[in-house]
A = this chain, B = another copy of it.
Amino acid sequence: MTGGGDISFFFKPESVAVVGASPEPGKISNIILGNLAGAGFGKRLVPVNPGQASVMGLECLPSLEESPEVIDIAVFAIPAGLVPGALKRAEGKVRGAVIVSGGFGEAGERGKLLEKEVLDTARKAGVRVIGPNCLGIYDAVSKVDTFFIPVDRAGRPGRGGLSILSQSGSFAAVAMDELAAEGIGVARIVSYGNAVDVNESDCLEFLASDPETSAVVIYMESVADGRRFVEAASRCSSEKPVMAVKVGKFGAGAAAARSHTGAIAGRYEIYRAAFRKAGVTELDGYEEFQAACKAFGLQGRAGGKRVMIITDGGGMGVGIADACHALGLEAAPLPDELEKELRAVFPPYFSISNPLDLTGSATDESFAMSVQKTMSGGHYDIAIVAALWGPPALTDSLPGMLAQKPGFSEKPIIVCTPGGEYSRSRLRLFREAGLPVFTTPEGAVRAAAVLAGGRRRR
């Protein structure tokens, strides 16, 4: 289907143009120009508008044809019907186009024809295209931000190792906004929409060798070229964790995916087989997508599926053990020597088993000691700490003490801290300590399962 070839200039541009850059606040082109300027894109930023001398204090180019040099990225936020003409004028002047406009393949037969014309024109003009019907790129490394949602409605994450590919623009925007609120950084987020040219496979090829990206999460409704996807995903997954959520699996969802990006969603089983073959961890939906982002945004892969559960609320411990069982993780019993060691240091009313229940008498120290003693040996791969804030001895030092990981720095710790106002106000402390924190047992277990290579499907 689509071609492949280098697209790295999209992620290290020396220049970005905004075609049709309007001086009018609220216009999409105006928001994009403002976000690019506000995000601190330090290279050449060029509004293109024949009717203005300057926009936002930046000198305007009357037309892309007038550009004295080749521009790396031109963002097109103009009506669909004007896109082919504008692309033609970009020949020799633009390496890559981000077409955020809608009204193409997702909009009936006429849109499909227009989309075909866009591809043909872009090929002739030698311009690579991201989109149309997309948000484009949010890149915390290069500071490129073509997402046309104002910053006050959708936060922008700081810099981190996570990269996200999304066919759905709204999904990409919501995920970005949530990561910003959770304090989890990203490298590149690409909303590629109808994928007329650049698609998930092109992006995976780039991300495979991108040193800024340590893990990749994909949201997809469809894949245009399955064989190429398997090749690109395999290459990427041999370098770093690659996870994917495929939506539009069944019935109404599949039909909706089709009308949403104009793509054929295809049979779900085929996707699952492709993921397995490519070493891609399948995520079940939005909540597993969230869990994957939080987990890999803050912790590394787990060495196995053996989970140690530590809590001060017996009932929560039981619920976590159930959820572990449901996702194929093993809450294995405490080995005898470890049980003896814990009995020697803890009062008799602690429930010394897995789950380990420190009861309402829990202290910061008893939590930290439990994590240290159970995780420093070879018995467990992941700790899930369910800290309820009822016990009066618990203090705000707990998150920092848990995060120290003496003697087992490579093993992930996942925190579950459900509850109301008091508990919610403590979530920040765990985030600041670098621990992925969830408000339900199931959320924490999803994250643990993702770090352990994915849930076991039944």
A residues within 8 Å of B by Cβ? Answer: 26, 102-103, 106-107, 149-150, 152-155, 166-171, 173-174, 177-182, 219, 221, 247-253, 255-257, 259-261, 285-287, 290, 309, 312-326, 331-333, 348-349, 351, 353-355, 357, 359-360, 388-390, 392, 418-424, 440-443
Whether the Cβ atoms of B315 and A392 lie closer than 8 Å is no
Give bound CA distance, A394 to B363, whole Å. Answer: 46
Separation of A250 and B325 alpha carbons in the complex (Å): 7
> In the bound complex, do residue B251 and residue A420 qualify as a contact, i.e. CB atoms below 8 Å apart?
no
Choose among B182, B259, B315, B325 the residue that contacts A171 (Cβ–Cβ < 8 A).
B315
- Whether the Cβ atoms of A168 and B318 lie closer than 8 Å is yes
Of B167, B181, B250, the contact of A424 (CB 8 Å cutoff): B181
How many angstroms from the CA of A154 to the CA of B421 in the assembled complex?
8
- How close is A331's CB to chain B, nearest CB, in angstroms? 4
Cα of A372 to Cα of B85 in the assembled complex, Å: 42
Asked if A178 contacts B252 (CB within 8 A), the reply is no
Contact A102–B153 (Cβ < 8 Å): no
Tell me whether A390 and B315 are in contact (CB under 8 A). no
Residue of B nearest to A221 (CB): B318
CB-nearest residue of chain B relative to A181? B420
Copies of this protein in the assembly total 2
18 more A-B contacts (CB under 8 A) besides A168-B316, A247-B319?
A: A107-B349, A154-B389, A154-B390, A155-B422, A170-B312, A171-B313, A173-B390, A174-B423, A181-B424, A221-B318, A252-B309, A256-B351, A256-B355, A257-B318, A259-B353, A259-B357, A260-B351, A286-B441
Contacts of A167 in B (CB 8 A): 315
Say how far A151's CB is from chain B's closest CB, in angstroms: 10
Query: Contacts A153-B390, A392-B153 hold; do A418 and B174 have CB atoms under 8 A apart?
Result: yes
- Given B247, B285, B313, which contacts A170 in the complex, CB threshold below 8 Å? B313
Which residues of the partner chain B approach A249 to less than 8 Å between Cβ atoms?
A: 322, 325
Is A422 a contact partner of B322 (Cβ separation < 8 A)?
A: no
A252–B354 contact, CB under 8 A? yes
User: Once bound together, how far apart are the Cα atoms of A307 and B24, in whole Å?
Assistant: 41
Contacting pair B316 A174 (CB below 8 A): yes
Contact A422/B253 with A315-B169, A318-B247 known, Cβ cut-off 8 Å: no
**Quick one: closest B residue to A359, CB to CB?**
B102
Name the residue on B nearest A423 (C-beta).
Answer: B177
Once the chains bind, are A317 and B177 in contact (CB under 8 Å)? no
Could you tell me the distance in whole angstroms from the C-beta of A419 to the nearest C-beta in chain B? 5
A319 interface neighbour in B286, B309, B348, B442, Cβ under 8 Å: B286
Q: Nearest Cβ distance between residue A276 and chain B, in whole angstroms? A: 19
10 smallest CB-CB distances across A and B, nearest first, come from: A168-B315, A170-B313, A181-B420, A253-B321, A177-B420, A171-B315, A252-B331, A260-B314, A253-B322, A252-B321
User: How distant is A404 from chain B, measured CB to nearest CB, in Å?
Assistant: 25
If A26-B392, A318-B221 touch, does A251 touch B422 (CB 8 Å cutoff)?
no
Chain B's closest residue to A325 (CB) is: B250
Beta-carbon contact of B349 and A178 below 8 Å: no
